């Protein structure tokens, strides 16, 4: 049987296969496009001490601190007092952009970015990988990724 009949219409198996492959390709393309923004949202860090909002600006991704479990130090809002740039020492930690310039690799990783650690005032190379369980692997490193630290963040919205 070469053709399949649907009421008054009939399709040859070749045309049906072509249509199926077209729909499959389209759905995979749409899935890949939608996964580009899969990291957008608010994430709880591994210590459960901070929430970071990841957002897209043009083709790059950034993250800013939007909540701290302990927002105050000595009765005042925590500031970026460890920053090597003295002019930023009075900048509040809440609102601080700590993830910068990440680019989507087309699969499940955002790379070529940096992460800033306000506790030390240091900036590290970083990549972000969305895990199968919808957690985010955050890998900060110096030089090559072999020398670094990995943390797992949990998406809260």
CATH numbers and ranges of domains, the chain = 3-34 (no CATH), 37-155 (2.40.128.520)
- Between 21-35, 104-118, 132-146, the lowest mean confidence (pLDDT) is in 21-35
Query: What pLDDT does 2 receive?
Result: 52
Q: What is the mean pLDDT of residues 84-99?
A: 98
Q: Does the global pTM surpass 0.95?
A: no
Q: What is the mean pLDDT of residues 133-155?
A: 94
> What is the rounded average pLDDT for all residues in the chain?
85
Contact between 45 and 28 (Cβ < 8 Å): no
Closest CA to 112 of 120, 103, 123, 121: 103
Each residue's pLDDT tens digit, 112-126: 999 999 999 999 999
Torsion over CA of 141, 146, 151 and 154, rounded to 10 degrees? 100
Is the confidence at residue 27, as pLDDT, over 70?
no
């Amino acid at each position: 049987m070469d053709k399949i009949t649907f009421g008054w219409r009939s399709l040859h198996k070749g045309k049906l296969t072509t249509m199926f492959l077209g729909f499959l390709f389209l759905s995979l393309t749409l899935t890949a496009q939608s996964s580009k923004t899969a990291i957008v949202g608010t994430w709880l860090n591994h210590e459960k001490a901070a929430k970071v909002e990841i957002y897209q600006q043009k083709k790059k991704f950034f993250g800013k601190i939007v909540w701290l479990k302990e927002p105050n130090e000595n009765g005042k809002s925590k500031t970026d007092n460890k920053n090597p740039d003295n002019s930023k020492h009075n900048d509040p930690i809440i609102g601080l952009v700590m993830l910068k310039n990440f680019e989507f690799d087309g699969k499940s990783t955002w790379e070529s970015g940096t992460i800033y650690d306000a506790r030390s005032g240091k900036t590290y190379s970083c990549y972000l990988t969305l895990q199968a369980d919808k957690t985010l692997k955050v890998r900060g490193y110096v030089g090559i990724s072999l020398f670094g630290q990995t943390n797992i963040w949990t998406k809260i919205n």
